[in-house]
Amino acid sequence: MNRTQKGAMMTLSAFLLNAAFLGYLFIRIFVLKSLPRVSDMAPLLLASAAMATWWVALSRKRQSPAEPEADERDKAILKNAVLASFISILLFLAATVLVLALVLGEAGSVPVYVLTFILFGVCLAAGLVYSVAILIQCEHENNDGR
Amino acid sequence: MGDNNISNRIRRLRFDHNEMTQQELADRVGVTRQTILAIEAGKYAPSLPLAFRIARAFNTSVEDVFEYPDGETSPDARS
């Protein structure tokens, strides 16, 4: 696994953990109608510690002492991933607006704090698509090369 | 990236040069092993500078490493 793939794995794990945490907050606050408890943070802290340990182990092991940060193919992969991420942002925003319009109707409105969740959702979607796009491109070419 | 019709003899040349590994070639030309793997499989077309560096790693010319099909002058000529 080269540095680009490792970076994508780390980014993906961080965004998945964040998505899980935000999902927990949303359910806790809006579905269960209660505030989160400190004791509920224990699994999150454990998961964060495990992830940090995995990151350290992943970053220490290198394919070769001469391995570059990113070569020309990695740059092309990153460029495609940025494009995919940008498109995902547009699609996510369009889908969010459409769903809200269909659910609430023409005269409907949402509280201002919903925009915060939409913003977090956009960031999560962009990060997830960016990481997955890198891993798919790398794995696709590696599989074909075997 | 993606499929291209430039073939290469990198795998053959590696074996002819003391069974050079993909990692050793990658270190010599300054790319990752995955890039060498993708080039050998024909899934990635290297840039001109990289193609020249690969040829120099084998002490040969670019034409001896890479081959473009005879008679093709444009991508639309493929049939």
Question: Are β-strands B7-8 and B66-67 bridged in parallel, bridged antiparallel, or unpaired?
Answer: antiparallel
B24-71 pLDDT, tens digit each? 999 999 999 999 999 999 889 999 999 999 999 999 999 999 998 776
The predicted pLDDT at position A22 comes to 82
B53 inside 8 A of chain A by CB = no
Confidence of residue A51 (pLDDT cuts 50, 70, 90): confident
B48 inside 8 A of chain A by CB = no
Please tell me the pTM assigned to this model: 0.78
User: Domain locations in chain A?
Assistant: 3-145
The least confident of A36-40, A128-132, B20-24 is A36-40
Task: Measure in Å the smallest separation between the Cα of B27 and chain A Cα atoms.
Answer: 6
Residue B78: pLDDT over 60: no
Contacts of A5 in chain B (CB under 8 A): 34
Cα separation, B74 vs A24, whole angstroms: 56
Q: What is the mean pLDDT of residues B13-29?
A: 93
Q: Does the beta-carbon distance from B30 to A66 stay under 8 Å? A: yes
Q: What is the mean pLDDT of chain A?
A: 85
The least confident of A28-37, A86-95, B49-58 is A28-37
Residue bearing tokens 């369009």: A94
The predicted pLDDT at position B20 comes to 92
A143 inside 8 A of chain B by CB = no
Partners of B25 in the beta sheet?
Answer: none
Q: For residue A119, what are the contacts with CB-CB under 8 A and spacing of at least 6?
A: none
State which residue of chain B sits closest to A1, comparing Cα positions: B34
Partners of B66 in the beta sheet?
Answer: B8
ipTM of the complex in this document = 0.76
The predicted pLDDT at position A117 comes to 84
State which residue of chain A sits closest to B41, comparing Cα positions: A145
Of A75, A80, A82, A81, the closest CA to residue A3 belongs to A75
